[in-house]
Amino acid sequence: MRLIFRTLFFALFLQFTNCSDKPDKTENSTPPVTPSLKTTYSKDFTIGAAINEAIILQKDTLALKVLKRDFSSITPENIMKWEEIHPVADTFNFDLSDKFVALGEENEMEIIGHTLVWHSQIGPWMNTLTDSTIMAKYIKEHINTVAGRYKGKIHGWDVVNEALNEDGSLRESVFLKVMGDGYLPLAFKQAAEADPEAELYYNDYNMWKPEKREGAVRLVKLVQESGARISGVGMQGHWGLEEPDLAEVEKSILAYAALGVKVMITELDITVLPNPWDMEGAEVSQNFREFEGDEKMNPYASGLPDSVQLKLANRYTDIFKLFLKHKDKISRVTFWGVGDANSWLNGWPIRGRTNYPLLFDREYNRKNIYDSVIGLKTQPNQKLAL
């Protein structure tokens, strides 16, 4: 009996210590495994990506592989927008959103809903309404049906998107025109009712700008003072190589955190292309048709020069250093896309350009920026060079 126990104990000991008298042939031949983004940053914040229809339908298998390895949160780039999910007053279209949520659940990812109330791409009938009670009824119904369907499954909702002008005043959207600022607390209250466990966010671009920052602070306070629940502020990170000044980004992170809400960087991508209009942000209605096909506006169509790659890597490094400095306030950093090929920045503000804003290239290979961002954690004193 004793012998049996001793043999068993020894077998278990071998298993746990991986101690074997056979030489490990693979020890020196296995190439080192690059750590993933999500594991490298797991103690700091969640790393997410916006995903398009091809990924949701599991057709873009390369992107899917990268998504599963490197990201622990997903946001639907387009398919949950009002016009897509609720195109006609009495018709909801849940085919793609069901698949999106199922993909997140299967892979144990943090699922983000984007977005419930946004002036852009609402159901067309909404733009014709003039009665505030009727509009409130539609907003409630929309939120109830969409957020209610995924109750308990969505980690957080971008409840209201882009409600501010650049000077911090409230945007003259159809919601504001018909209902006044009361539509803001209404949306948050309804979302809380539809999915009591979900985090609820206000999300916008250029949230680093001082005037817009003040406007966002006023907006959050308006919601809080109404008694509605708001859990976080999403700072879209549609930024450039030089702009914005990260000192302003930092002031905004601090200002939003001081309101007692979480801060998220929700739509990160860095454009490297010329911007002669000094445009900042992500106003989707802006576009410059006259420059389509102009080579001067699309200088890197056949590849990104080393000098620009280095600039981009340094920019990403500075940005992530700032995020790490405030990791106690930042709960998630979401890239707006997986690989460069499908970034919206190839089509905005001029269509048909070749941009390089993300950490994965057009074939979903890891770019040097990826190593820089990982290196910040694994080799904090590294010097960037190509």
Active site residues: 267
**Residue among 137 and 351 whose Cβ is closer to ligand 9MR:** 351
**Residue among 120 and 145 whose Cβ is closer to ligand 9MR:** 120
User: Which amino acid is residue 236, in one-letter code?
Assistant: Q
**Residue among 266 and 372 whose Cβ is closer to ligand 9MR:** 266
Answer yes or no whether residue 60 interacts with ligand 9MR by CB under 6 A: no
Answer yes or no whether residue 340 interacts with ligand 9MR by CB under 6 A: no
Answer yes or no whether residue 144 interacts with ligand 9MR by CB under 6 A: no
- Binding-site member from 121, 145, 314, 317 for ligand 9MR (CB under 6 A): 121
CA distance 245 to 43: 27
Tokens, residue 111: 């699922």
Answer yes or no whether residue 335 interacts with ligand 9MR by CB under 6 A: no
Residues 6+ apart with CB under 8 A from 138: 89, 126, 129
Q: What is the dihedral of CA 379, 383, 384, 386, to 10 degrees?
A: -100
Q: What is the dihedral of CA 331, 267, 75, 77, to 10 degrees?
A: 170
**Residue position matching structure tokens 């002036």:** 119
Answer yes or no whether residue 93 interacts with ligand 9MR by CB under 6 A: no
**Touching ligand 9MR, residues 148-207 (CB under 6 A):** 161, 205
- Give the total residue count for the chain: 386
Q: Compute the least distance from the CB of residue 308 to ligand 9MR, in Å.
A: 22
Answer yes or no whether residue 70 interacts with ligand 9MR by CB under 6 A: no
Tokens, residue 167: 């000077």
Residues 6+ apart with CB under 8 A from 312: 241, 270, 272, 304, 356, 369
The closest residue (CB) to ligand 9MR is: 344
- Binding-site member from 88, 284, 325, 328 for ligand 9MR (CB under 6 A): 284
**Residue among 110 and 162 whose Cβ is closer to ligand 9MR:** 162
Tokens, residue 341: 């090929």
Chain residues binding ligand 9MR by CB under 6 A are 77-78, 81, 121, 161, 205, 236, 267, 282, 284, 344
